[in-house]
Amino acid sequence: MQNDKPQWAEGMEKPPLPNGRFTDAMKREVMSRAGGDGKRNRTRIVRTWVAAGLLVPVTAALLLVFGPFWSGEGGAGQHGGTGARNEAYVAGAGEAYDEQGRRLFTLHPDPNARAGEMAGYLFAFTAPMETFRGRTLTIEAEHVSSGAEEMLSSERIARPSSGYEGLGRYTVRFALPLGGEWRLRVLLDDQLYGQVILHMPDALWTPSSMFASGAYRMRGADQRVGILDVPFTAGQAQKVMWHFWGSRDELDGPFDVKAVKKGSDKLITVYETNPALSSNALAGAINGADRHLVTMIELPEAGKWRLLPYVRGRLLDSIVVEAS
């Protein structure tokens, strides 16, 4: 089993700056290196630090000072009311506010995130820890144009973020199946707490890469999900042998597969187990993977398709294949 924390999570647990604060002197130094306060120069600084391997801790700190400078012309200043809570219409990082205009949280997504790919997201909540302690914090998403809904995470909060008095650095990792605008809703004990609009860049549609595991070569995302490479013919069922890596929390539960064709935002179900009969649908370890399962998959039309495997309603990752 893979029990080590991913690098993005380890980075997020560390304080982003010395002494935990971004000083005026540091701000002047950043602006000096940028050559001014234009968006283009500030974006160039971030990209330079990405190359140096400092993206996660430094980007989160800079966002709190400069705002979401990769988010497009709208920025985080466009807020539209939607009943009890407001939304921030942005193309990257976003902020949620209550009725009195107080900030509830800020969302900092991985700037390299794309539809269909697993990525890290940081939620910086402003309320004190007692607001969350002992309550279930759930994050779900709705695709604005298609209405598709996704469960992203849910956990009972017992302790603050490492190095913080509250949930100032609450990190989650998830994948969204479609590009475009998603409404991310944060709930406490099933009651809406706040929401933001996240713009998810479209997926890459090149067939997923090949990788080796055990004695086989598989197509997919190494150490996440892979299938033995097989040809897909439109309108014909194809046997597919799935391989998965992850913890019991990730892989125990009912299993189903959805698919979306390039150029469409319509998700179709191409395989599903009966939730009442499959509390643990995936079989044991094989070929270097933690779990596996053999299914029949039929893609109705020729073209490029993204296969989307779910366990317990949560997307694990995706695999791009082509049907002839």
What is the per-residue DSSP string for 205-233?
A: -SPPPEEEETTEEEEEETTTEEEE---B-
Torsion 42-46-48-54 (CA) sign: positive
Question: Do 189 and 84 fall within a single domain?
Answer: yes
In a domain, 73, yes or no: no
In a domain, 72, yes or no: no
The pLDDT of residue 47 is above 90: no
In a domain, 2, yes or no: no
Question: Do 235 and 264 fall within a single domain?
Answer: yes
Question: Do 110 and 134 fall within a single domain?
Answer: yes
Q: Which two tokens stand for residue 112?
A: 């390299």
pLDDT value of residue 249: 87
Which amino acid is it at 37? D
Distance CA 261, CA 266 (A): 8
pLDDT in tens, 291-305: 999 999 999 999 999
Bridge pairing between strands 314-315 and 303-311: antiparallel
**DSSP-assigned letter for residue 283:** B
Higher-pLDDT residue of 28, 47: 28
Q: What is the per-residue DSSP string for 129-159?
A: GGGTTTSEEEEEEEETTT--EEEEEEEE--S
Which amino acid is it at 215? A
pLDDT value of residue 267: 97
Domain that holds residue 182: 79-200
pLDDT above 70 covers a percentage of the chain that reads 70
pLDDT value of residue 274: 75
pLDDT value of residue 165: 96
In a domain, 1, yes or no: no
Distance CA 242, CA 220 (A): 10
Question: Do 191 and 230 fall within a single domain?
Answer: no
Question: Do 161 and 94 fall within a single domain?
Answer: yes
Question: Do 96 and 151 fall within a single domain?
Answer: yes
Q: What is the helix (H) or strand (E) element at residue 86, kind and residue range? A: strand 85-88
Question: Do 315 and 258 fall within a single domain?
Answer: yes
Please state the domain count of the chain: 3
pLDDT in tens, 245-280: 999 989 999 999 999 999 999 999 999 987 666 678
pLDDT in tens, 144-196: 999 999 999 999 999 999 999 999 999 999 999 999 999 999 999 999 999 99
The enclosing domain of 278 has a CATH number of 2.60.40.3830
Question: Do 59 and 96 fall within a single domain?
Answer: no
Looking at 165, 200, 235, which one is the last position of a domain? 200
pLDDT value of residue 227: 97
